Amino acid sequence: MIRKARTEDVEEIKQIIDFWADRGQMLSRPLSEIYDYLRDYYVFLEEGWIAGVCAMHICWEDLAEVRSLAIREEHRKKKIGKRLVEACISEKEILGICKIFVLTYQPAFFQKLGFQKIDRATLPHKIWADCIKCPKFPDCDEVALILK
């Protein structure tokens, strides 16, 4: 089952994200940031536990980012990530978003969902809003993709 995240989910969301962040697969998110952007998050529940998480954050008038896609290791390969990203994308029309982008180490996954590679430099709002705080800035090795 997929639903919007709740405050009671924040600690578990952070644990799932940090598991992959500790392995260099994504960026960690401070607890305060997860609370600040809780309305951006979806969770996938399986047997009462959060098996996966994903967020869609609005960056600009017509641009949003899919971020923090993380699936518990024991729940990978069950199409949970695909379903979470599709839940985020489903908000596109409701919110009036024309383009959704992602920065990822897993470009093939997103390409299967219709995202296409782009130059990171075409995302100036993203670069200056979040990327400048990243420990990998300016030597980012994530791949930028967009869905129009």
Q: What is the pTM for the complete model shown?
A: 0.90
pLDDT greater than 70 at residue 125: no
Which domains are delineated in the chain?
2-147 (3.40.630.30)
Answer whether residue 62 shows pLDDT above 90.
no
Taking only the tens place, the pLDDT of each residue in 98-108 is: 999 999 989 99
> Does position 28 have pLDDT exceeding 90, yes or no?
no
* pLDDT, tens only, 67-89: 999 999 999 989 999 999 999 99
- Supply the pLDDT for residue 7: 97
In sequence order, what are the residues at sequence separation of 6 or more whose Cβ sits closer than 8 angstroms to the Cβ of residue 64? Answer: 56, 57, 58, 92, 95, 97, 99, 100, 101
Whether residue 126 is predicted with pLDDT greater than 80 in this model: the reply is: no
